[in-house]
Amino acid sequence: MVEWGLIGLFGMCFLASTILPFPSEATLLFFLNSGNYSPVSVLLVASLGNCLGGSTNYLLGYYGRKMLGKKHLMRSEYLVQRYGFWTALLSWLPVIGDPLLVLLGIYRVSFWKTMALMSAGKIARYLVIFWTYLTLA
């Protein structure tokens, strides 16, 4: 993983933010602990990869809407209508975060508002991990 450098970190965090289930937090900590890279560059690259992966989920929903049946859409419509783009704040959560972004894309919730809140949530999660690492190191 370290052999690929920051490109590997970016790729791992990107993929972890799509529907693939593996923790990008462990990757972030591994790179922070390796001592090979500046902690700030690790934080920035991981955040960028994770946010771009999240935007991929939104776009999958946006362009893949026709693949879902009406039955599936009706079940989730209430959530999106009630909370709208604010739902993107929960996109950092394991298991449910990625599908929430797909739903926001399906219902064509404002792309820029969704991306702003998604990024805020994902970066805040990494900042907590980053701060904890620096405090304990």
Q: What SS3 class is residue 51?
A: helix
| Category of 95 on φ-ψ map: left (φ > 0), alpha (ψ -120 to 50) or beta | left
Q: Note the pLDDT tens digit of each residue in 55-77.
A: 999 999 999 877 766 666 666 77
pLDDT at res. 76: 74
Number of structural domains found in the chain? 1
Q: Note the pLDDT tens digit of each residue in 45-55.
A: 999 999 999 99
Question: What tokens were used for 120?
Answer: 């805020």
Q: Note the pLDDT tens digit of each residue in 92-111.
A: 988 888 889 999 999 999 99
The dihedral sign for the CA sequence 59, 109, 73, 21 = positive
Host domain of residue 44: 2-136
Which 3-state string (H, E, C) describes 54-105? HHHHHHHHHHHHHHCCHHHHHHHHHHHHHHHHHHHHHCCCCCCHHHHHHHHH
* Whole-structure pTM value: 0.87
Question: How many of the other CB atoms lie within 10 Å of CB of 67?
Answer: 10
pLDDT at res. 90: 92
